[in-house]
Structure 1
Amino acid sequence: MVDSSTGWPWENLGCFKYLLYGPFVAKVLYSRFHEEALNAGTILCLHVLILCALRGLVHQLWSTYTNMLFLTRNRRILRQGVDFKQIDKEWDWDNFIILQALIAFMASYMFPFIENLPLWNLKGFIAVLTLHMAVSEPLYYWVHRHFHGNHHLFNLYHSFHHSSPVPQVFTAGNATFLEHLILTVIIGIPILGASLMGYASICMIFGYVLVFDFLRCLGHCNVEVVPHQIFETIPFLRYLLYTPTYHSLHHTEMGTNFCLFMPLFDALWNTLNGKSWELHKSISSNQEKYGRVPDFVFLAHVVDVSAALHAPFVFRTFASLPFSTKIFLLPLWPGTLVVLLLMWAWSKTFVYSFYELRGRLHQTWVVPRFGFQYFLPFATEGINKHIEQAILRADRLGVKVISLAALNKNEALNGGGTLFVNKHPDLRVRVVHGNTLTAAVILNDLPKDVEEVFLTGATSKLGRAIALYLCRKRVRVLMLTLSSERFEKIQKEAPVEFQSYLVQVTKYQAARNCKTWIVGKWITPREQSWAPPGTHFHQFVVPPILSFRRDCAYGELAAMKLPDDVGGLGCCEYTMGRGVVHACHAGGVVHLLEGWTHHEVGAIDVDRIDLVWKAALKHGLKPVNNQD
């Protein structure tokens, strides 16, 4: 049984809880198709559904804005990030909307006159505002203060709300069943009072509920959006409207700032935090213009339109899971494309996400370019200009290491970052392609007793390093390439006694007896068919190859799990699991943690592969693809 005060009656339903809206939808649809006109009860159900959708939209829009770090990072109140634990805890933040929808439906039977309300009545707005200030505000203040003053009530009912370390928009709705029953009474008193007076209207109910939600989101958003100049111009206004800074102090110093929206009641009963106004002015005036400078930056890029919806400022819960195409994303595709085109036109690299590791700030910046654009010859100059601007910006800020994501370090694009290092020899920021660790991850994923491998993309940066490393281990490498010149160039780099282990092949048929394939170039299902049953496809190709063969195993892209002490990480890196990043990202992290002062660009230094691998393990990074 679920405790009716601490749990939710439908908490075991999971996503099926939304079926509780079913009776509302069914009644509206039935009346639409089987009745000549909508009756009052049906109209009420329709209004409840519309209001619930609008309430969800208010919270989502607030969440989207506050998590756009490129707009809000300098006005964040608590600087730490939101981790997976908090996101999971706040997963069912919208339970209160379902609760209040059901209560509204039951209230219509208790007070039938609510069903026949006019669209507009000015007196209703005056009545609801008066009742809110005179009844709801002080009632909430004393109930809230009592929850904090009584240890039993706090520990059993209210501590759950305060267990979120960083207030977020969805934290506003993240509370126990009992708390939201009380909040329903508080939000319902002005509406019911205005209705009993005969002044209620549809616009009044919609307006009051949506403004109520808007202000709740404002207080919990963790971004100061209220300019301090307003309070300097109208001093008394600071007692009528709280700010995000004001409410955040309640979460950090819980014995103060108990008000709902009006600090007046904290001032009257001497619970006003003395730092409220000065801290608000400090953050609002943007005195810390650039905030905290990151030590490490991972320069990513947009893969495609669907993947762009995986950003943490779109759907926070979706971003906290590995990316996969979902049906609910399809209607958002056109709007997302427009936004991406606008960001493309804006031509600015933007801050995407951040986390902390060993007391150092790590940020991901994104180049607003689609993946396919990297393969268009005429787009090369523009993309390199974006990457160069990001590197120079990082250099100006004092960033120590900037690591380039997959296509941002494409050999044909900029020589694996060599272009920028040669052009700007005085860079203080270290430019890292991270491919040394990528090679190490792939190599350490191979069976220890492997004697022969088949390698596609054999003359690429990674292919060359893998081939040279394996031949030194006396592993026979079948290098698929049509260019004898490139093959011979790589073969000559190997010590003379190991050169015979490198073998050029020109057809996939040559690997029909080899069960270890390392794929660095995309291969079709037909090409995969030449692999014998039981083959393991290791890969470093983007995008990953299709898992066509059921009798074969397919490895994921090279990746590593970040150390356990990483903090504030709340989004997954594309298709990677929680806390897992691409190996090139991890390579930059290791570069920073080791304090290396060289640039890692251009060709991979084969002699450093084992060194980088051991350094990664030393700092707590863990491989995720190793075979048992």
Structure 2
Amino acid sequence: MVAPLSRWPWENLGHFKYLLYGPLLTKYLLSRLGEDTQKDNWCFHILLICCLRGAIHQLWSSYNGMYFLTQHRRILQRGCDFKQIDREWDWDNFIILHAFLASLACYCFPFLTNLPVWNTRGCIYALVLHICVSEPLYYVIHRCFHSDSLFTHYHSFHHGSPVPHPYTASNSTPLEQFILSAIIGIPILGASITGYGSKGLIYGYVLMFDFLRCLGHSSVEVVPHVIYETLPLLKYLLYTPTYHSIHHTEMTTNYCLFMPIYDALGKTLNHKSWELHKKISSGINRRVPDFIFLVHIVDVMSSMHVSFLLRSFVSTPFTTRFFLIPFWPIAFVAMLLMWSSPKAFMASSYNLKGRLQQSWVVPRYGFQYFLPFAVESINKRIEEAILKADRLGVKVISLAALNKNEALNGGGTLFVKKHPNLKVRVVHGNTLTAAVILNEIKEDVKEVFLTGATSKLGRAIALYLCRRRVRVMMLTLSTERFQSIQKEAAAEFQSFLVQVTKHQAAQNCKTWIVGKWLTPRQQSWAPSGTHFHQFVVPQVIPFRRDCTYGDLAAMRLPPDVEGLGECEYTMERGVVHACHAGGLVHLLEGWTHHEVGALDVDRIDLVWKAALKHGLKPV
């Protein structure tokens, strides 16, 4: 049986729950059309406060997602995983509830609808009531919610989030939010009943209350320890994110609302709070990642698929949404500013088998890689990221997509030759990419058509398939490059490699391996029922309805991955590009060689078996 007030009555409405604001909006709009404007103006203020409360939580969430700014002061190195994001999906339910309760308060206490803009004495009264009533009342009630029954039925939902986040602050049951609204209301009503209330007090107190709640549940330490060393008493008057994070790991301590003095009086203050706070705020808690995946931005629209914007959006595969369109100009300006950005920046973090993994972003967009004058600048940024990883002690850095382009840097060869003493292993991950594509091809296939045939991947795929006695039609205009690849095959397999110069040659072949972008006309030469395997970036557009199109080579991470809450571009949850997975396998196997330049065909099966051994699975 479900405990009373442990479920939100509108939890099944989805996005339609926002229609519950409709009566307030309607009443306000009607009042603007009528003569009694002043009396019903309170509807506007309630709606505005709701918007501002949501904005405060969103801004704190964005700050928490800015790993490039906060990586030195993060309390927990991993991020929020998909399970926690889904658990906190409806974190804003409390705003709807408090809007209802505020409306009820305006009907019960009509004087609230006609308050002055500001009253200094009322703010002082509210502060006294907060310190003397709200703080101790919250402390006592919070401790009660940690008793067996109340915790099991109510408070455990809040503590089910392993990584504190600003959205965690408001992610609780209706009963807890009813009580929290009373705690918020005491100072406001107390000051107003005495005749010293004001609109400024309501706005200021409610928004500051949310601000401090988000601060405490932030996974980043923002309060400098120097302040507490200069003013020791202040640490009993204002808590910190570190202080409250201890409550989420050791739940018998640090119960206070905002003021640790009540934990000190109640003998529930965790004495390692200040030492841990000093350690984290000093930046010495930073952990060096074992693996870095060096990515780049695809285009202006996908640049908004980042953790510090909308957490819910980035937790789903990227696709262009209508709500992104108004923000396109801002993203475009950001692109122009990034052109002058001096270095790569950290974008995400997660743990795999106890090892910290991070994604760093080279501040360059896809189209910029094809500008001749940009080559030197891009290589410089990639080189700086590799050298920084080397200085930090990173073990493996994997190059994504265009960062390992053959024309750009020879698949990473440029950096290894220039810096022969690198301790960090540079990996392009294409060996596993080739393995994924090859394992998608059915055993009974006897003929394939290959575009991008003389690229690193194309060459390896062709040589591997000819060993399986599969006839490979290699689309290339360069006879010299074709013959060079053909000579690499054993004499008995060379006849399986065939050069073709036009797409028409594959009009009877139903297995196409696409390494170079195809136009609609080029796709039209494929027979009905053709399947297009792909290793081309960007993916080809599926024009043919009578054919099937594979996704880019990818692998699913093991289920024990921790802190992964972002989808990698268009990939599903928990799925990463094969080159990303290839770098992880390189790390987990402890291989000490660089994987750059041409692929070693003999290692394709070895890398594939290693990936499966470590729990990675084909999609």
TM-score for both structures, normalised by structure 2: 0.97
Amino acid corresponding to residue 219 of structure 1 in structure 2: G
State yes or no: 1:21 paired with 2:24.
no
Q: Contact 2:297/2:363 (CA < 8 Å) preserved in 1?
A: yes
> CA separation in 1, counterparts of 2:234 and 2:100?
36
- How far apart are residue 484 of structure 1 and its match? 1.8
Does 1:614 find its partner at 2:614? Answer: no
Equivalent residue number for residue 461 of structure 1: 456
Counterpart amino acid of residue 72 in structure 1? T
Q: 1:36 to 1:368 in 2, by over 3 A?
A: farther
From 462, 467, 474, give the equivalent of 1:472: 467
Q: Is the 8 A contact 2:344 2:360 kept in 1?
A: yes
Q: Secondary structure at the match of 1:364?
A: strand
Q: Distance in 1 between matches of 2:284 and 2:512?
A: 56
State the distance in 1 between where 2:337 and 2:575 align: 30
Q: CA deviation at 1:460?
A: 1.2
> Percent identity over the alignment?
71
What is the aligned partner in structure 2 of residue 69 from structure 1? 67
Aligned residue identity for 2:252: G
Give the letter aligned to residue 469 of structure 2: R
SS in 2 for 1:300: strand
Distance in structure 2 (CA, Å) of the matches to 1:229 and 1:72: 18
Correspondence for 1:6 = 6
Q: Secondary structure at the match of 1:449?
A: coil
Alignment-derived partner of residue 38 in structure 1: 37
Of stretches 575-584 and 565-574 in structure 1, the one that deviates more from structure 2 is 565-574
SS in 1 for 2:243: helix
Matches within 5 A, 1:222-233: 222-233=219-230
What residue is the counterpart of 2:401 in the other structure?
Answer: 406
Partners of 2:324 and 2:14 in 1: CA distance: 20
Is the counterpart of residue 55 in structure 1 residue 50 in structure 2?
no
1:314-329 mapped onto 2 (5 Å cutoff): 314-329=309-324
- State the partner residue of 1:560: 555
State whether residues 77 and 349 of structure 2, in contact with CA within 8 Å, keep that contact through their aligned partners in structure 1.
no
Match of 1:271 in 2: 268
Query: Match of 2:143?
Result: 145
Do residues 313 (structure 1) and 311 (structure 2) align? no
The structural deviation recorded for 1:98 is: 0.9
Confirm whether residue 360 of structure 1 aligns to residue 355 of structure 2.
yes
Where 1:531 maps in the other structure, the secondary structure is coil
CA change 1:4–1:40 in 2 (3 A) is: farther
C-alpha RMSD of matched pairs (Å): 1.5
Residue aligned with 1:335, SS: helix
Counterpart code for 2:584: V
The counterpart of 2:530, out of the listed 520, 530, 535, is: 535
2:143 partner amino acid: R
Q: Who is 1:173 aligned against?
A: 170
For structure 2, which runs of at least 5 residues remain unmatched after alignment? Answer: none
The one-letter amino acid of 1:467's match is A
Shift of 1:37: 7.2
Letter in 2 for 1:159: S
Q: Distance in 2 between matches of 1:612 and 1:232?
A: 53
Give the alignment of 1:441-590 within 5 angstroms: 441-590=436-585
| 1:338 positional shift | 3.0
Q: Which moved more, 1:534-543 or 1:195-204?
A: 195-204
For 2:75 and 2:352, how far apart are their aligned partners in 1? 20
Instruction: Check the 8 A contact 1:224/1:284 in 2, yes or no.
Output: yes
Q: Within the alignment, does 1:600 sit opposite 2:599 as a pair? A: no
Q: Which residue of 2 aligns with 1:351?
A: 346
The answer to whether 1:212 aligns with 2:206 is no
1:41-440 to structure 2, matched below 5 A, reads 41=40, 43-148=41-146, 150-288=147-285, 291-440=286-435
Provide the C-alpha distance between the structure 1 equivalents of 2:427 and 2:417, rounded to a whole number of angstroms: 14
The more displaced of 610-619 and 77-86 is: 77-86
Paired letter, 1:333:
W
Residue 427 of structure 1 aligns to a residue whose secondary structure is coil
**Does structure 2 conserve the Cα–Cα contact (< 8 Å) formed by 1:4 and 1:177?**
no
Distance of 2:609 and 2:586 partners within structure 1: 12
SS in 1 for 2:493: helix
After TM superposition, give the deviation of residue 344 of structure 1 in Å: 3.7
Instruction: Specify the code of the residue in structure 2 equivalent to 1:199.
Output: Y
Instruction: Give how far 1:31 is off.
Output: 4.2
Q: CA separation in 2, counterparts of 1:300 and 1:394?
A: 14
Report the 3-state secondary structure (helix = DSSP H, G, I; strand = E; otherwise coil) of the residue aligned with 1:297: strand
The 3-state SS of whatever aligns with 2:532 is strand
Superposition misfits of 4+ residues, deviation over 6 angstroms: none
The code of the aligned residue for 1:326 comes to: R
3-state SS of paired residue (1:254)? coil
SS in 1 for 2:349: strand
SS across alignment from 1:11: coil
Give 1:79 deviation, angstroms.
Answer: 2.9
What are the Cα deviations for residues 78-135 of structure 1, in whole angstroms up to 9, with x where unaligned?
Answer: 3333211111111111110111011111221111221112222222211211211121
Shift of 1:3: 5.3
Contact 1:66/1:221 (8 A) holds in 2: yes
Partner SS state of residue 305, structure 1: coil
Q: Is the 8 A contact 2:3 2:153 kept in 1?
A: no
State the AA in 2 paired with 1:586: A
Pairwise CA distance, 1:548: 1.1
Q: Deviations over 1:48-101 (max 9, x none)?
A: 121111111111111111221121122112333321111111111111011101
TM-superposition CA deviations, 1:576-599 (whole Å, max 9, x none): 111110000011111111111111
Retained in 1: the 8 A contact 2:396–2:424?
yes
CA contact (8 A) 2:514 2:533 kept: yes
Residue 36 of structure 1 and its aligned partner are, at CA, apart by 6.3
AA paired with 1:621?
L
Task: Check the 8 A contact 1:538/1:555 in 2, yes or no.
Answer: yes
Cα separation, 2, equivalents of 1:479 and 1:275:
66
In structure 1, how many angstroms separate the alpha carbons of the residues matched to 2:29 and 2:3?
A: 34
